[in-house]
Amino acid sequence: MLLSIVIVFLTVIFIIKIQDVKSPLLQKCFNWFPPILFAYMIPALITHTFNLNLANSEIHIYSKGFIIPLTILSVMSALSLSQLKIVGIKPIVLFVSGSFIIAILPPILIFLLRLLSPDLGMQIMNEELWKGLVTIVGSWIGGSTSQLVLKEVVECSEELFAAILVIDNILVNIWTILMFQFIKRSDQINNYFGISSEKPPVSEFEEESVSKIQSAFTIIIVSVISFSFFFIEISFLSKIILLSIIGLALGNLIKNWDHKIILKVGSKLILIIMATLGLKLNFYSLGIPSALVGITLIWLVLHYLGMMIVSYYLRIHMAWVPIASMANLGGISTAPAVTAAYEKQWMPHAIVLAILSMVSGTAWGLFTTFLFGLLKP
């Protein structure tokens, strides 16, 4: 296990350091292939190059038993429900509608595919390619944390997961570029649908003020709770649900909880999990199923059209459609960036929606898993 720990440790340190390098070329590279993808691929390349078999290393037991629960608890406790009031009810309804559409479309599309092409539809179910779609739901709505949790829940293979990562990253980056264009034309879309382009009043985003002692207290609490869950013999899914509830309680009931620091901790833990998973990847079995690419493209388009319909009936500014879409698909880094292209004062709203996305992604993915269960023969 020592070799596995060394590879994971060096990979994570390298990724953290390279993220701080101020290089335009490197930043352009990260725009298409984010650091988290490198965190997954670097250990895989090392094991492939030196013909190492670390797929059964004990590090995977500790990753699933402690690191993933710690990540879930950290991310869930990063949401302060009081911050939702700055966003307003209509943008939240639009955002939740976007999440719902993302979650229900994969089973619906596979069901329709089975009617139009029974052989292809059954192939996707029988070869368990649907598991890859579940991890995409987790990635789009919840980000990497939810994606990794759902991968373990549905037992998605490393080879399919690697292919999904490639599909996911390429399409989401293309989608981000499109959202920049759509938000710049939101006033024109408003006029076309007869929606008022008047911007709603901007609520102030309250910055937290916490001491180093409070930050340390926050980290210690989540670490102790997660460590204790390592010894509790319940199913992995039960652990995730319980830790999610505990995380929300911690982040909203304990005074002076450091939401900012615990979110940073969660982001670093994700790198550790991805690097650990990379040790399992077998490049010889890697392939990208073309059917999944087509389904994902249709999925994205229908997601956006559905949100436009919801926005129309809510009579809410069409700029919220790309904002809510990126809060779902892009997360805490890209949602504010897209928002700033239209109205910088709305950036805090986008951040809150992105955090809401992070804490709800696992639940939506489990819902998608349940729906796929209904399609099984």
Q: Packing angle between helix 236-253 and helix 144-154, nearest 10 degrees?
A: 150
What residues contact 87, with CB distance under 8 A and at least 6 apart? 203, 349, 352, 353
Give me the residue label for tokens 């989540």.
222
Query: What pLDDT is recorded for position 287?
Result: 61
| pLDDT tens readout for residues 326-374 | 888 876 667 877 887 777 777 777 878 888 888 888 899 999 999 998 8
Lowest mean pLDDT across 5-19, 175-189, 225-239, 326-340: 326-340
Neighbours of 210 (CB within 10 A): 15
Question: Please, are residues 204 and 324 in contact by the beta-carbon 8 Å criterion?
Answer: no
How far, in Å, CA of 291 to CA of 120, rounded?
8
Long-range contacts of 344-347 (CB under 8 A, 24+ apart): 345/202, 346/202, 346/319
Q: Which amino acid is at 150?
A: L
Q: Which of 183, 132, 128 is nearest to 327 (CA)?
A: 183
List, for residues 261-287, the tens digit of each pLDDT value: 988 888 888 889 889 988 887 665 556
Class of residue 30 by CB neighbours under 10 A (exposed 0-12, middle 13-18, buried 19+): middle
State the pLDDT at residue 311: 92
Predicted local confidence at residue 32, as pLDDT: 64
Rg over alpha carbons for the chain, rounded to the nearest Å, is 21
**288 contacts 166 by C-beta, under 8 angstroms:** yes
**Residue-wise pLDDT tens digits, 20-51:** 887 887 777 776 677 777 888 899 889 988 88
Dihedral in degrees, nearest 10, Cα atoms 156, 53, 72, 228: 120
Q: What is the pLDDT of residue 93?
A: 93
- SS3 string, 260-320, reads HHHHHHHHHHHHHHHHHHHCCCCHHHCCCCHHHHHHHHHHHHHHHHHHHHHHHHHCCCCCH
Spatial neighbors of 129 by CB under 8 A, at least 6 apart, are 123, 160, 289, 291, 292
> Is the CB of residue 129 less than 8 Å from the CB of residue 154?
no
How do residues 139-179 score in pLDDT, each as one tens digit? 888 887 888 889 989 988 888 888 888 888 778 878 887 88
pTM: 0.78
Q: What is the pLDDT of residue 195?
A: 83
